[in-house]
Structure 1
Amino acid sequence: MKEIEKTSSMSAFGFHSEYIYPDLIARESWFRSLLKVVKNYDLVFLDPDNRIEVPSVKKGTKKSNKYVYLCELERIWENNKSFLFFQHFSRVNRDKFIADLTSKVKVVSYNSVIPSFKATNIVLFLALQPPHQKYKEKIIRIIKEKWQDEFAIRDD
């Protein structure tokens, strides 16, 4: 991530790559810091080490720093930010996995438009705030043009 941050072509983006500690107080401090960093940006990209929360790893416990929690996505949304996150597939039916996760994200993003971009081993989810939804077709078109062989687009 540090190398990407140094790339001049990335100057239109803000980065918040500080380590997330698992305890709740440190995590909350990190999160407040994230919101300050993204204050002037419309889109927050999240790349959790593992994935979106799982029932077996509660927020604030050991290894919870490897997950992003739905309540955090909701807070990003409540701060008028769209968000994009990266997700490795679980060992389940991939279409069901995408549908289930899309449903969960729609709850915390108040029924936002959630296109997903499926590759061999990963999927990206994009939750667009109402003012940003006008860019959805353009985003999809760009992804199709640049990565047509890499991503299948699902527009739920």
Structure 2
Amino acid sequence: MKDQYFGDINDYRKYGLLRAIIRASGFRVLFSWMLTPDDGSTDGKLISYLDRPDKWACHDPVLFQTLKELLAAGQKRRVSLIEDSGLIPKAEYFSSLVPDSTSGRSAWFSSLIAQAQSSDCIFLDPDNGLEVKSKPYGGKGSSKILYWCEVEALWASGKSLLIYQHFIREKRPRFIEHMLETLRSSTPGSFVEAFSTPHVVFLMALQPEHQEFHGAIVSALQENWAGQIQHWELTRAQQSAPADRSPVTRLASAELCVRSSHGTES
């Protein structure tokens, strides 16, 4: 996450998703922004949706109006604006910049684990998403990546997880399935599902004691975000089968259950 992205159309959907999850579950969520410095690019400029309340406000009127007011006030765009707004109930925030170095990353992660003790769920918002071979741990640009060893450690600490992930150039159902299978193998006993928007997917792993909220979460999203956020989950057979601990997933034999319609651009 970068401060320059704050309040764009992707942020609106993201905060809407999190507000729906919290409303349905009552989770105490720790937001780990996984902040990296702004880069001077034009990314995050998609805020024209705020000029179309007739189209966009219906999904979450309070969130829409607050983002509109915050961006209209001429303040520097930064995630602390949402932290101070009170829009996310029961939320805590971990806002330290993510370092690239191995020692710095280790210290950063230890601080995250310590702050997460009182939370039920951790939202992780890396610039790009989960581990890729081209960005080894401790290397240049590794701050933009969440590593599977970190996912496993957070899961072992007893937290449900929600993870931001960019799409890649692969057919989306296949990509989502692959990510869900890999997430399930890294989170023993979990129920995994995904929530996609036009550009990104959010991967969720629910701890056993939180799985009772699955239906309420899906219903809340269908009620408020139909047409913008799509729900995906593995079949019952896949969810109940023993997790394959290898990185290779059985794509050919699996199916995904789609629970809502595809999103649209602003």
Tell me the residue number matched to 1:43.
Answer: 121
Aligned to 2:82: 4
What is the number of residues matched between the two proteins?
156
Q: Which residue of the other structure, out of 157, 173, 180, is the alignment partner of 1:79? A: 157
Aligned to 1:17: 95
Runs (4+) of structure 1 moved beyond 6 Å?
none
The answer to whether structure 1 residue 121 and structure 2 residue 199 are counterparts is yes
Q: Aligned residue for 1:64? A: 142
| CA distance, structure 1, for counterparts of residue 211 and residue 122 of structure 2 | 15
Tell whether 2:210 aligns with 1:132: yes
Question: How far apart are residue 47 of structure 1 and its match?
Answer: 0.7
Q: Do the aligned partners of 2:189 and 2:207 also contact (CA within 8 Å) in 1?
A: no
User: CA separation of 1:11/1:135 partners in 2, compared to 1, >3 Å: closer, same or farther?
Assistant: closer
TM-score normalised by structure 2 residue count: 0.57
**1:155 alignment partner, one of 229, 233, 238:** 233
Separation in structure 1 between the aligned mates of residue 110 and residue 214 of structure 2, nearest angstrom: 28
TM-superposed deviation, 1:11: 4.8
Runs of at least 5 residues in structure 1 that lack an aligned partner in the other structure: none
Indicate the residue corresponding to 2:223 in structure 1. 145
Matches of 1:42 and 1:131 in 2, distance apart? 10
Amino acid at match of 2:171: N
Question: Residue type matched to 2:117 in 1?
Answer: K
Structure 1 or 2, whichever has the larger Rg, is: 2
Runs of 5+ unmatched residues, structure 2: 1-78, 235-266
Deviation at 1:81, TM superposition (A): 0.2
Find 2:167's aligned residue among 89, 92, 105.
89
**1:3 & 1:32 partners in 2: Cα distance?**
25
What is the CA distance between 1:111 and its match in structure 2? 4.7
Provide the rounded CA distance (Å) in 2 between the counterparts of 1:146 and 1:38. 29
